[in-house]
A and B are shown apart, each in its own frame.
Chain A
Amino acid sequence: MAALIELQGITRDYGNFRALSDITLSIHPGVTGLLGPNGAGKTTLIRILLGLAKVTRGSGHVLGIPLGDQLPRVRSLVGFMPEDDCYLHGISGIETLQMAGRLSGIPSLEALRRGHEILDFCGAGQERYRPVETYSTGMRQKLRFAMAIVHDPQLLILDEPTTGLDPQEREAMLNRIRILWRDFGKSVLLCTHILPDVQAVCERVVILARGTVRVTGSLDELCRTSEPSLSVTVGGFMEPFAAELGRRGLEVELRDERHLRVSGGAEESGQAVWESAVSTGSVIRGIEPARNSLEQIFLEAVGEVRRADT
Chain B
Amino acid sequence: MPIHDPGYRPWRGQSTSPGSRWLVVAHTGIQRAWRSSWLKRLLLLAWLPGASLGLLVFLYEQMQVQDDISARAIQGMVVNVLEVPESAREQFRDFGGVLARRELSPGEERHLFWSLLLLNLFRRSQPLILLQVVGLIAPPLISQDIRSRAFLLYFSRPLSPFQYILGKCSVVLFYSLLITLAPALLLFVAGVLLSPGFDVLAATWDLPLRILVAAAVITVPGTLLALTLSSLTTESRFAAAGWFAVWIFGWLLRATAGLFSAAGPDSLVWNLSLYHVTTDVAGRVLDPNFLAPGFGLQVVLLGVLCAVSLAVLYRRVCAPLQA
Q: Which residues of A contact B (CB under 8 A)?
A: 47, 50, 52-53, 71-73, 75-76, 78, 80, 82, 84-91, 95-96, 99-100, 102-107, 110, 114, 117-118, 120-121, 123, 133, 147, 149, 151-152, 176, 179-180, 183-184
Complex-state Cα separation, A85 to B11, whole angstroms = 26
Closest B residue to A120 by CB, please name it.
B6
Specify which chain B residues have a CB less than 8 angstroms from the CB of A121 in the assembled complex. 6-8
Also in contact, A73 and B158, with CB within 8 A (given A88-B145, A102-B16, A179-B8): yes
User: Is B70 positioned at the interface, with any CB of A under 8 Å from its CB?
Assistant: no
Query: What are 6 A-to-B residue pairs whose CB atoms are below 8 Å?
Result: A85-B148, A87-B153, A89-B140, A121-B8, A133-B148, A151-B157
Task: Give chain B interface residues in 1-20, CB to chain A under 8 Å.
Answer: 4, 6-16, 18
Instruction: Report the minimal beta-carbon distance from A196 to chain B, rounded to whole angstroms.
Output: 24
User: Is B190 positioned at the interface, with any CB of A under 8 Å from its CB?
Assistant: no
Specify which chain B residues have a CB less than 8 angstroms from the CB of A52 in the assembled complex. 155-156, 321
Specify which chain A residues have a CB less than 8 angstroms from the CB of B15 in the assembled complex. 76, 104-106
- A86–B24 CB distance below 8 A: no
Which of B8, B28, B151, B157 is the most central at the interface, judged by chain A CB atoms within 10 Å of its CB? B157
Which of A80, A86, A103, A152 is the most central at the interface, judged by chain B CB atoms within 10 Å of its CB? A103
User: Is B21 positioned at the interface, with any CB of A under 8 Å from its CB?
Assistant: yes
Known: A82-B152, A99-B28. 18 other contacts (CB 8 A): A53-B321, A75-B157, A80-B152, A84-B149, A86-B151, A87-B153, A88-B153, A91-B31, A96-B153, A100-B157, A102-B21, A104-B158, A105-B16, A118-B8, A149-B8, A151-B11, A152-B12, A179-B7
Complex-state Cα separation, A107 to B9, whole angstroms = 17
Specify which chain A residues have a CB less than 8 angstroms from the CB of B145 in the assembled complex. 88
Specify which chain B residues have a CB less than 8 angstroms from the CB of A80 in the assembled complex. 152, 156
Q: Which residues of B contact A (CB under 8 A)?
A: 4, 6-16, 18, 21, 24-25, 28, 31-32, 35, 140, 144-145, 147-160, 321-322
Complex-state Cα separation, A84 to B159, whole angstroms = 19
- B148–A88 CB distance below 8 A: yes
- B28–A72 CB distance below 8 A: no
Among all A-B residue pairs, the 5 with the closest Cβ atoms: A105-B15, A72-B158, A152-B11, A86-B149, A120-B6
Specify which chain B residues have a CB less than 8 angstroms from the CB of A114 in the assembled complex. 11
Complex-state Cα separation, A76 to B158, whole angstroms = 6
Which of B12, B156, B159 is the most central at the interface, judged by chain A CB atoms within 10 Å of its CB? B156
Closest B residue to A157 by CB, please name it.
B156
Complex-state Cα separation, A71 to B162, whole angstroms = 14
Instruction: Report the minimal beta-carbon distance from B168 to chain A, rounded to whole angstroms.
Output: 12
Closest B residue to A183 by CB, please name it.
B8
- B158–A86 CB distance below 8 A: no
- A84–B152 CB distance below 8 A: yes
Complex-state Cα separation, A90 to B30, whole angstroms = 12
Specify which chain A residues have a CB less than 8 angstroms from the CB of B10 in the assembled complex. 152, 184
